[in-house]
Amino acid sequence: MRLKWAVMAFLIMILSGCGYNDFQTKDEAIKAAWGEVVNQYQRRADLIPNLVNTVAGYAAHEKETLSAVTQARAAATSMQITPQVLNDPAAFSQFQRMQGQLTSALSRLMAVSERYPDLKADGRFRDLQVQLEGTENRITVARQRYITTVQEYNVLARQFPTNLTAMLFSYVVKPSFTVENEKAISNVPTVDFGQAK
Amino acid sequence: MRIIRFFIFLLSLVCGVAQAQVPVPPFSGWVVDQANMLSVKEHQDLTQLLNNYANKKGSQIGILLVKTTEPEAIEQFSIRVADVWKLGRKGIDDGVLIVVAKNNPKSLQRLRIEVGRGLEGAITDLQAKEIIEKFIVPNFKKKNYYSGLIEASKGMITLIDQEYAGISNKAPIKKNKESVWKGFESYFVGFVIFGMIGLVWWRMYGMIGMTGLALDVYKRNYRPGMNSQNFRGDEFTRTLERVERRSGWGNFGVGGGFGGSGGFGGGFGGGGGGFGGGGASGDW
């Protein structure tokens, strides 16, 4: 009698997969979302050399700000981003930190550029500004989508009974972008020097 | 005491509402005007232009005019709308969304062109900005909203045509049929499997079958005056076995497919296109 019940339960578990298939889908979704995030950060990094050159053409003596951006970019792009970063919380937060530093350096550069009307009138600089804004928006969208995807996965990994499947197949909770970082990035300083455009 | 709690609950609702985001307007047509910026005729003409283009080419341009997007910036609002409306064909992602928030403060910006993934090459961020600066801003400054929007639409049509000369519009606009089938399919499979298990289970135990059989046997063996004292159990059991052998499967138990609900949203809908956050914002 008990054997029949056990066989039944086992069959049902196998057939419903106890979330196993869901894990596969969501794991792949996370990798795709993460790839997108890395892609957009790289896109931003690619814009920076042009930007630095254009600003240097008008504001060469703002050496500190310019070199800060160049160094931050070098640090951010030097880090190897593999899908393994998702399994390593330390590497993940390092990645966040470096991109955050690049964001701060960039905002300082854009704030400084406000003081140079010739630079602001330059066509190339305006184009780069538009491209940078577009890229920052893409980064924001990619991050939001990654956060949503990771949230769904983590809920699955922590809820009963799928957490048993998770333990069985070692699906750990994946890292997500932390709230402090979200705040820091969403508050891009809008510096107004009160100068007429 | 209960009244106080009730009022606290009401208060929390009100406070919650005060901070709420602007809800995504329903996708009722190519042009959705919640800010009354267009006359009826202008609305019709604009809709017709976009409708013709969508039917001819397949790429979907949508225009949304709202009063405000506060507390969100226009970019955050427009990507939310784009994710719900899903302009553009699935897989090709050739949708464009123009959002105008008439009463937004300067910091949140009042114009945005949200470009679908597939069109990011045809309408780059720079080109989107140019469309805003060249077509929309001058007209909007003079309060010629219709002119601004129609010129911007025509500009984008030109850009899309240049880039997408090769893609045919035969790719069907998938409404919600796909999602209906997907939902149904998974439920159906689940129920068939469960039904098969049920069949095996009920055959082994035959509880519902047994109930039916028991009733059947009882009817056969009922003698007037039968009560708990003179009820002959062994006779009852023998009849039961005989009936069971003859009836075979007895009862089918739970069985399969009552199906799932899936997604039944019908009517007007986007084609399932995706957006990545590309485009440009502006103000007039």
A163 touching B (Cβ < 8 Å): no
pLDDT tens digits for range A15-33: 566 778 888 889 999 999 9
Residue B190: closest CA among chain A residues belongs to which residue?
A: A16
What pLDDT was estimated at residue A182? 53
Residues above pLDDT 90, as percent of chain B? 50
Closest CA to B101 of B69, B136, B149, B133: B69
Chain B, residues 2-41, CB within 8 A of chain A, namely: none
Look at residue A106 and give its three-state secondary structure: helix
Residues above pLDDT 70, as percent of chain B? 60
Residue A13: closest CA among chain B residues belongs to which residue?
A: B194
Residues 6+ apart with CB under 8 A from B110: B74, B100, B101, B102, B104, B282, B283, B284
Residues 6+ apart with CB under 8 A from B136: B111, B148, B149, B151, B152, B282, B284
Alpha helices by DSSP H, listed for chain B, are 2-18, 40-57, 74-85, 125-131, 137-141, 145-163, 177-205, 207-221, 233-247
- What is the arithmetic mean of pLDDT over A12-17? 63
Residue B280: closest CA among chain A residues belongs to which residue?
A: A134
Q: Token pair for residue A97?
A: 């930190």
How sure is the predictor about A166, in pLDDT bands with cuts at 50, 70 and 90? confident
Q: How far is CA A140 from CA A40, B92, B163, B261, in A?
A: 9, 23, 27, 34
The values of phi and psi at residue B29, to 5°, are 175, 175
B126 touching A (Cβ < 8 Å): yes
pLDDT tens digits for range A52-68: 999 998 888 888 999 99
Q: Residue B173, exposed/middle/buried by CB under 10 A (0-12, 13-18, 19+)?
A: middle
B106 touching A (Cβ < 8 Å): no
Residue B204: closest CA among chain A residues belongs to which residue?
A: A4
Largest CA distance in chain A: 88
Please tell me which of the candidates A8, A11, A130 has its beta carbon nearest to residue B129: A130
Chain A, residues 13-32, CB within 8 A of chain B, namely: 15-16
Asked if A133 lies within 8 A of B204 by C-beta distance, the reply is no
Asked if B279 lies within 8 A of A134 by C-beta distance, the reply is yes
pLDDT tens digits for range B54-95: 999 889 999 999 999 989 999 999 999 999 999 999 988 999
What pLDDT was estimated at residue A105? 93
Asked if B201 lies within 8 A of A8 by C-beta distance, the reply is yes
Q: Token pair for residue B60?
A: 């979907």
B79 touching A (Cβ < 8 Å): yes
Question: Which residues of chain B neighbour A134 with C-beta distances below 8 Å?
Answer: 125, 277-280
- Mean of the per-residue pLDDT values of chain B: 77
How sure is the predictor about B230, in pLDDT bands with cuts at 50, 70 and 90? low
B197 touching A (Cβ < 8 Å): yes
The values of phi and psi at residue B96, to 5°, are -135, 140
Q: Which of A43-47, A90-94, A99-103, B251-255 has the lowest mean pLDDT?
A: B251-255
Closest CA to B153 of B251, B64, B216: B64
List the beta bridge partners of residue B282. Answer: B111
The helix (run of H) or strand (run of E) holding residue B277 is strand B275-282
B193 touching A (Cβ < 8 Å): yes
Question: Which residues of chain B neighbour A12 with C-beta distances below 8 Å?
Answer: 197
Chain centroid to CA B161: how far? 29
CA dist., res. B128 & res. B281, Å (int):
8
Closest CA to B47 of B63, B35, B34: B63
The values of phi and psi at residue B274, to 5°, are -105, 155
More confident residue, B216 or A167: A167
Asked if B278 lies within 8 A of A12 by C-beta distance, the reply is no
What pLDDT was estimated at residue A177? 85
CA dist., res. B275 & res. A144, Å (int):
13
CA dist., res. A100 & res. A93, Å (int):
10
Amino acid identity, position A89: P
Closest CA to B151 of B7, B29, B271, B46: B46
pLDDT tens digits for range A119-133: 999 999 999 999 999
List the beta bridge partners of residue A109. Answer: none
